[in-house]
Structures are given as C-alpha cells and as structure tokens.
Amino acid sequence: MELITKFHGTFNYEEKDIINFPNGIMGFEELNKFIIVESKENEAFKILQSLEDGDIGLLSISPFDVKEDYEVELNEEMVNSLGIESPEDVILYNIVTLNSDIYKITVNLKAPIIINVNKKVGKQVIIDKEEYKIKHPLIKR
C-alpha cells in the first residue's frame, strides 16, 4: 500500500506495519491507525504517521536517546490493555516539537507513546514523575 503525505513524502507499507491506537494520541484522538517510518533527515528520529490523515506525521525519538535512565512503570491495567507479555514486546517513543532554533527543540518526556510491537497496538500515557517535562530540551547548551 502507498501513502502520500503532505510533509514527509510517500511511504510504502503493508498491513503488518499498521499500529492501532484505540484511543488515538493526545490532540488526535480521532486518529487510530499509524505507521512508524524512518526520518530521511536523521535516523535517530522516527515519524509516527497517521494513515487516516496524511497531514499528520509526528516526529518522535526514543527517550533513551534523550535521557539514558528514562523509566516508565506500567500498571497492570496498561500491561493488559496492550497485551504485553514481556519487556521485549515494548518500544517507547516521545514526541518532538521542532523549532527553527535548535536549542528550542523539545521532547515530551511526560507523555510517552508505548507500543506493543508484537500485537501492533499503542497508547500514549502520562507519567507522574516531576523530573519528566513536557518540553525537555533535546539539545543542551
């Protein structure tokens, strides 16, 4: 299948690549089907691309590329809702907010996206840890 997007070009994908977000993503609750694609500009970044709206592609990064000791504790309800059977099932991404000033580019460490890569289901959660900020600088001065 092929998806033509407004900002990130054209992507080819298969049914097995689709990740279902039953509750959407904060700010995009009506969008449920996404794919993860490599950023052409920088391999550290991924694009969480909506299949339902080609204009919506969220730049994302692994939290461990930003904060090596990043931790997310999932409660039993979350584990069950995502069908997680082992830590290897899970991949985390955090949404990046771009800015023309590279020192103002931020990463939302407060609300990671958790994906069960085997079941192809995801959810965005809010972490109740004071040290994780919504606008964590990607690059420190």
Q: Give the model confidence (pLDDT) of 26-85 as tens digits.
A: 999 999 999 999 988 888 999 999 999 999 999 999 999 999 999 999 999 999 999 999
For the chain, how many structural domains are there in total? Answer: 1
Per cent of the chain over pLDDT 70 is 100
Beta carbons of 94 and 114 less than 8 angstroms apart:
no
Model confidence at 110, in pLDDT bands (50, 70, 90)? Answer: very high
What's the whole-number average pLDDT of the chain? 94
pLDDT value for 37 = 94
| CATH number, domain containing residue 116 | 2.30.290.10
Q: Is the dihedral of CA 122, 123, 124, 130 positive or negative?
A: negative
Find the mean pLDDT for residues 86-95.
Answer: 96
Give dist(CA 73, CA 120) in Å, integer: 20
Model confidence at 6, in pLDDT bands (50, 70, 90)? Answer: confident
Q: Where are the beta strands (DSSP E) in 51-112?
A: 57-61, 90-97, 106-107
* pTM of the predicted model as reported, rounded to 2 decimal places: 0.92
Q: 47 pairs with which residues across the strands?
A: 37, 59
Name the amino acid, one letter, at 78.
M
Model confidence at 89, in pLDDT bands (50, 70, 90)? Answer: very high
pLDDT value for 22 = 96
Q: Which domain holds residue 105?
A: 2-137
pLDDT value for 4 = 87
Query: DSSP character for 86?
Result: S
- Structure-token match 């919506």, residue found: 56
Beta carbons of 77 and 63 less than 8 angstroms apart:
no
**What tokens appear for 32 in the block?**
């449920």
Give the other-Cβ count within 10 Å of 57's Cβ.
22
